[in-house]
Amino acid sequence: MTRILRSKFKAKFQKPRPRSYKQSPYYKSSFHLKLQHIFKKYRLRYNEKDNTITNLDTGDPFLIFSFDESSQQFTANNIRVWSLNKPRMIKNTSKHKINAAGSYSLTKDGKDDLVFLENSKKESIVYTLKRLRKKNPKGVILLLIDNFPSHRAYVVRDCGKNLDMELCFLPPHSPELQPEENVWHAIKRLISAFKIDQIPNYNKLKKEESELLLKELISKFFYQIVESKNKGNKILNNYIKPKIKLFNPHENLDWEVQKVY
């Protein structure tokens, strides 16, 4: 369809949020170095069959989560707008937004979590970390997290350290390294396509009723999407798994031999 629109009809498209020009050309190398620094601390084994990572020193699972926030609303802002002339963008007119924070597990042993926050302050982020640890009590947690100021706050870092979490801050302007972004985009598309006219007197709903409806839809779609997604995603396969094998080839072999005998 894209080829037909471009070649035959000479159509053009525009995105409300194009990729940032500030992205460093070395963002992948930077991400590799961050993972290298973290994995040097542990003896890990990746199980190809069930997509799990085990800490060989403790026997506990090594959990990897993608953490991100999103302001969800009834109108998506990430859809291509095609036009035979110059695309004309129409801004969103939705009045109500819900701030959601999701923790999407990239490993099978991890339990996904979704929480709705009143704000994005550091205290709210600390609450989400404690909630995630309570839901996943065993093992070290590697958290892929962006560089939002409240995420990098000292109180958040200290909380992560006390909860036995490794906070891996992604390179700036690199949303493709954040698997959670794909989840939010899918939710936005589903919510945007939701038939408002199926709700009786939607325009007359109070703010509390509208927000409650939006929360129910976000919760429903979030867990449906993360459960249906393949846990062996490209971030795990292309970045994390090779680093684990690189730093722990001999330990994994010895562990297998000891297990057999």
**Tell me: the pLDDT tens digits for 47-100?**
888 888 999 989 999 999 999 999 888 765 555 555 666 656 555 555 577 899
Question: Is the pLDDT reported for residue 42 higher than 70?
Answer: yes
pTM over cut 0.85: no
Q: Which class would CATH give 28-195+203-260?
A: alpha beta
Q: Up-side HSE of residue 194: CA atoms within 13 Å toward CB?
A: 21
Asked whether the predicted pLDDT for residue 198 surpasses 90, the reply is no
Q: What is the mean pLDDT of the chain?
A: 81
pLDDT band at 203 (very low <50, low <70, confident <90, very high): low
Residue 157 token pair: 């870092």
Structural domain boundaries of the chain?
28-195+203-260
H-state helical runs in 116-153: 122-135
Question: How far is residue 131's CA from residue 108's CA, in Å, rounded to a whole number?
Answer: 19
Task: Give the strand pairing for 98-105 and 113-116.
Answer: antiparallel
Q: Percent of the chain at pLDDT above 70?
A: 77
Q: Do strands 98-105 and 81-83 pair parallel, antiparallel, or not at all (unpaired)?
A: unpaired
pLDDT at 8: 75
Identify the burial level of 193 via C-beta atoms within 10 angstroms of its C-beta, where 0-12 means exposed, 13-18 middle and 19 or more buried. Answer: exposed
Give pLDDT, residue 256: 43
Kindly report which listed range (61-65, 100-104, 205-209) carries the lowest average pLDDT score: 205-209
Is residue 252 very low, low, confident or very high in pLDDT (cuts 50, 70, 90)? very low
